[in-house]
Amino acid sequence: MNLPNKLTVFRIILIPVFLILVLPVFNGRTLLLVPAETGRIIAAVVFVLASFTDYLDGKIARKRNCVTTFGKFLDPIADKLLVTSALMALIQLGDISAWAAVIIIAREFIVTGIRIMAASDGVVIAASSLGKAKTLIQMLAVFFILLRDFPFSMFTSVPVGRILLWIAVLLTIYSGYDYLKANWDRIKN
């Protein structure tokens, strides 16, 4: 297993760590017995680390020319697991609307379905720049929501994380439409 694939597996391993830290289980404490607010801060750091491995594994794989079928398969799954886990946790915490999460997750199912159909024809559909922008905005939104908009909250009450999340929802809708439009012939056949 090469380094990019190890980073992808590491990202998947960080997901339960993130959830253990962010979701209080009793008396406002996490499974690690830290106060919920402390858990949120540590979870935000874990989320950033996991998100960074997404950037890093792709960069290393392309630079070292070590792109593998395993990596092509597992990397998008790891990304979707990370984002979906974070969104579900934020819904449970009452920090985001389920509407936003449903739209984001539905788009991921649609795009994954299109990619599976393309793969059955021997075609690999790479992530578009719009899809990458959507992912970046989603990850920033989750990070700032976890930190309750810190450091912006020090000088404004503007809900930066939630605004970013709704921007991500708009990008999600548009990029999903873009994938559908670009692959409509494949879908209708």
What CATH number has the domain bearing residue 69? 1.20.120.1760
CA dist 39 and 102 (Å) reads: 25
The overall pTM is greater than 0.85: yes
Cβ atoms of 131 and 175 closer than 8 Å = yes
Q: For the segment 54-78, what is each residue's pLDDT rounded down to a tens digit? A: 889 888 988 888 887 777 778 888 9
User: What amino acid is encoded at 146 in this protein?
Assistant: L
CA dist 103 and 155 (Å) reads: 31
Q: For the segment 91-128, what is each residue's pLDDT rounded down to a tens digit? A: 999 999 999 999 999 998 888 888 888 877 777 777 77
pLDDT at 182 over 90: no
Cβ atoms of 47 and 139 closer than 8 Å = yes
CA dist 101 and 133 (Å) reads: 17
- Which residues span the domain enclosing 178? 3-188
User: In angstroms, how far is the first alpha carbon of the chain from the final one?
Assistant: 37
CA dist 132 and 57 (Å) reads: 14
Q: How many domains does the chain have?
A: 1
pLDDT at 14 over 90: yes
Give pLDDT, residue 86. 97
pLDDT at 27 over 80: no
pLDDT at 13 over 80: yes
pLDDT at 175 over 80: yes
Give pLDDT, residue 171. 95
3-state secondary structure of 29: strand
